[in-house]
Structure 1
Amino acid sequence: LAYDGCVWAGVEIKTLADQRQTGFRFCSPDYGGTSLTSTRNMVPVITFSRLYEVKSLLRYRIASSGPATSEPTSEETGQPTQPTRQPSSERTPGPTSEPKKRCYERKLCQILVKLSLCDSSAYTAELKEQVCPGSCR
C-alpha cells in the first residue's frame, strides 16, 4: 500500500529557510513528541483532515539566538527583567501522558471498518492490525 503524502489527515510544519517549499509532514500520531528547529521566527503550521474530527496538539518553545542578558540597567527599561534563556542543545521532552484515544477509537478506523476494511482480501491481516489495532479481530 503506497501513497504520496498524508491521505486522511496531517500536519505540515514549515521550518525550512524557504517557506515556499514543503515542510515536514506528519500523518500519524506515531510522530508525537518530534522536535523541530526552525530557521525563522515565524513558522507556518498547516493542519488538514478529510475526516470529521481530528485533534492536533502543537507544543512550541521560543528561544533567543543571542547571548543571555543580565539585568538591564534603569536606562533600558526602568525595571529589572528575567535573563533571556539560551537555546538548549537538549531535546524538547515529549508528552508525559498517553493520548486519551487510541487509533481504533478514532473516526478513521470507524470509517475504514464501515468501508469493509476487515473483510477485504486486498490487505494483509498485519496491515489491518497496524492501521486499526483491535478493530478486525
Structure 2
Amino acid sequence: MTITVVFSFAPLSSVFSRFQVDLQYVSDIILHFNPRYERGGYVVHNTLQNVGWGSEEWKYENPFPRDRPFALQILISTNGKPFSEYKHRLPSSHVNSICVGGQVEVNLIAFQYLGVMFCPYTWDEKTNK
C-alpha cells in the first residue's frame, strides 16, 4: 500500500519549525514522521508503543519546501523521490488512522493498494465459465 499526502503550509507558517504525520493503530503510533526546520533541517522517525517512545532515527535533510505544495508518499518518498527507510517496529498493516499536526494544510490524501485480490469463483477451462 502507498499513502500519498499532498500538503501546503498554512499562512504565516514561516515561523513554525515542524510538522508531523503519524500512522496510528489505536493509541500506538506505528510511524511518527516529523520534519523539522531548525538546525539546518532534519526528519525524525519513531514509534510509540504501549505509551513509550522508541529510539529516534534522524535523517539530516529536509526536502519539504515552505513556499509551495509538496507530496509525501509513505513508502517514504517525497515528490516521487525515495527519501528514507524506516524498519517498522509494529506491523504497518495495522494502521487504522492518519494524524497530521503542525501548520500545514492537507490538500489530498490518497491510498493505493497493491495487494493481490482473489476471486470468489473458479474457472472451468472446458466450459469457459
Same fold (TM over 0.5): no
TM-score, normalised on structure 2?
A: 0.29
Which structure has more strand as a fraction of its residues? 2
Give the greater-gyration-radius structure (CA): 1
TM-score, with structure 1 as normaliser = 0.28
